[in-house]
Structure 1
Amino acid sequence: MSLDDAASKPHERMQAALADDLQAVNALIRDRMASRHAPRIPEVTAHLVEAGGKRVRPMLTLAAARLCGYEGEAHRMLAATVEFIHTATLLHDDVVDESQKRRGRPTANLLWDNKSSVLVGDYLFARSFQLMVETGNLRVLNILSNAAAVIAEGEVLQLTAATNLATTEDIYLQVIRGKTAALFEAACEVGGVIAGQPEPVVRALATYGDGLGIAFQMADDLLDWGGSDGVIGKNTGDDFRERKLTLPVIRAVARADAAERAFWVRTIEKGDQRDGDLQEAMALLRAHGTLEETRAEALAWSARAQGALAQVPAHLLRDMMHDLADYVVARLN
């Protein structure tokens, strides 16, 4: 479910407040994704970058810098860096997952090929590091390069954790930190760093991004099961069919009796899924209360993100960031 499905849209208010910065970032992205020698690079990149994404991650960098009083230009370079890292990971993820659709459109690997997607992703990572260096700030280079490493590490961990019923909640958290939260955290943190804020403010921004990212991913994982009520609807059960171990299943497996465990071994570990298995899986999650528990976990991470903002300077953009943390879990109500 997209963020547009909720009633209130704080990211749109943020877009309006940051319109000039976003226009400059978009121009910078178009300029830096160009290539004189390999026209396929801007073709593939434009297909994804201009596909209607909300630019939430780069907006968080811009918002964090602006609410901290920053008046320079480097935050725009960092916002473009964040978007390039995000786009590169999407290109690579679609190859790994053999995806055919992204944001309602055919994926780049489907329209071109896997080699093009991987190599263009590599190009965008290289461009992102060029932009980081141009800021002249070694600490933001350290933060964003670490985030890129965590993202890659999380993807590899997910490969080894997938279909393994021994996967723990700690491993799940590590996976979703790599998958989503690491870039949210870095995007917010570098905004404070480039604005020259004291360490407590920088750490608070990082904590906000981490909590926001985890809440967002947990909400997505729960919605794949139809939300906390477990109501089967359109696209419900994609994670089950792909044998992904998300928090509701991890907890249900931990509490399973012998017959229930045999069901999870057959459907998740062995991939032997039959008619009615999705409904059976849903019934087990409801019986063990793991859907509602996951909802509570997502809400707690959202609240943690909001709590961190108390250390951040008062600003209309801070209020929008607070509302955004509500917004990513409002889909669960």
Structure 2
Amino acid sequence: MVNQFLMNLHNIDQSIYEAARIDGANAFTQFFKITVPLLKPIILFTSITSTIGTLQIFDEIMNITKGGPGNATMSISQYIYNLSFKYSPDFGYAATVSYSIVLMIIVLSIIQFKVADVTKGRLLPGSFFLDNFNKLLEQTNLVQALGNSAIVSIISTLLALLIGSLAGYGFEVYRTKSRDIVFNILLLSMMIPFAALMVPLYRMFATISGFAPFIGINTMAAVILPTITTAFLIFFFRQNTKMFPKEMLEAGRIDGLSEIGIFLKIYMPTMKTTYAAAAIITFMSSWNNYLWPLVVLQTPDQQTIPLLISNLGSSYSPDYGVIMTAIVIATLPTALVFFIMQKHFVAGMVGSVK
């Protein structure tokens, strides 16, 4: 969330602040009269997505309490997962619960659209770390799990950025009578917990396995495909495109560029900050994805790094030193991606326009 606000702050034209200072506006006035109004699209975006993400929580509960003690920490996503894939699976009842969630979300969304329509460890690894690292290599196939996660995350990120930016750009730039209706339906779909879609998705990929096993259950494709078209990214790109200077599009058309040419040669280079932030968010989300790989990947050689860590903690006598070592190693790629993307993230719009 901080990254999203930082990115949009870099996109605000500094000449606006200069003009305000000349007119005698202090920092307090500049913040509430300039910064907050210009950040309204991203404030709306983060408010909605944060609320939805909180309601859809699954991974933390699954790995820490598993819904216990009793059902004290049970979430609706955990409940649907238990109905579908634990003990005595009941897909019919699970689907009914999923439909009830969708119904509740529809009601809440109607209300929403009526109410608001808004534009203590060491710094350096010591002998204990190395001992635990060696144990981790002996007990698990760490390299393969890291490779699987890398394949899923990189492909998912690239495809999701392309599809999400095209759709978000189209929703904002091209005006049609049905545009807002379609976008509101899309926004509604973002509010549906993934657990509500888990059963039909699983059945679909299980069916596909019969005639196209290369994209069926227990394949990387089955993990990647449901993640490349997300309402989250479409919403994200549309909200950021609202701050894109539309005069540049008109100038491109006057110069004879096609619509695809305008998107590739003007929009994409100018929106580097948006792509950088979206890449960080998407890569981290794909890298840390737990629920869907847990359902669809059924052999150890296909498991991703979150599944490997979860399996380490599921044993009767977990070695917490090994688990913490695995967690440290698992965070390194995401930290690396963040620092690589920071260069473009900070350079942003100014560098691309130059």
Relative to the length of structure 2, the TM-score reads 0.37
More helix by share: 2
Greater relative CO (CA pairs within 8 A, separation 6+): 2
TM-score (norm 1): 0.39
Q: Please tell me whether Structure 1 or Structure 2 has the larger radius of gyration of its CA atoms.
A: 2
